[in-house]
Structure 1
């Protein structure tokens, strides 16, 4: 009428190595899902943020983590930037707190006079002029 405790324990012990794999399979699946849904996108965001900070230059309009909008006035060091948030009002901020670049400034293009001066130094300008005529 009653089942002995030894008989009930013996019935539960089965499976072997495949049973151990079945126990760890859900944990492995959870880790894979976390990697593709959380870890990988975060690493991608960090990479793009780092690239944005490396391409930062004077005149760029940026937003800080605190929501302050300003223009990069001066690059103090690798970690600090001076922002001009109003005319004559400059604030020194940590570079990593910049969250977004609103507008980029174009690099200054060399004028025709500067190009001609470079060419004259190398002797190309005179040779090109005589070749055209």
Structure 2
């Protein structure tokens, strides 16, 4: 009886972590599948590569269309969506919604004018890197 106890105990020590790991993996797969099925147009998501986007179309079973910028829609595999992102509410925007917008500072107007002129210039593009040239 004593000769059987040690091998049985060794098998239990090996089997329990394997079973627990399998259960955790199944639970994670079920959560990911639930996320994939719950995606709807307008949801903010993050892909596995770290790209933040808005869901544009979910009509296909294997792919999903994500809007990464205004008017720029790309097609991704559904498995590339890592998580759904909840919109973050700023303290400033929360105070603006309360009706505290009657007084506008001149510096805010000047900053807005600067941003408009920079946006009118277009995007700034860095010059290409020249690899291997010395």
Q: How does 1:63-74 map to 2 (within 5 A)?
A: 63-74=46-57
Q: What TM-score do the two structures reach when normalised by structure 1? A: 0.59
Find out whether 1:23 has 2:7 as its counterpart: yes
Aligned-pair Cα RMSD in Å: 1.8
What runs of 5+ residues in structure 2 fail to find an aligned partner? 88-134
Name whichever structure is richer in helix by fraction: 1
Q: Give, in angstroms, the shift of residue 24 of structure 1.
A: 3.5
Distance 2:59 2:72 in 1: 16
Q: What TM-score do the two structures reach when normalised by structure 2? A: 0.58
Larger Rg: 1
Q: How does 1:69-80 map to 2 (within 5 A)?
A: 69-80=52-63
User: Match for residue 22 of structure 2?
Assistant: 39
The number of residues matched between the two structures is 87
Q: Give, in angstroms, the shift of residue 75 of structure 1.
A: 1.6
Q: Give, in angstroms, the shift of residue 28 of structure 1.
A: 2.4
Distance 1:31 1:80 in 2: 38
Q: Give, in angstroms, the shift of residue 21 of structure 1.
A: 4.5
Q: How does 1:78-97 map to 2 (within 5 A)?
A: 78-97=61-80
Indicate the SS of the match to 1:84.
strand
Distance 2:37 2:54 in 1: 16
Q: Give, in angstroms, the shift of residue 40 of structure 1.
A: 1.5
What runs of 5+ residues in structure 1 fail to find an aligned partner? 1-16, 105-133
Distance 1:41 1:23 in 2: 26
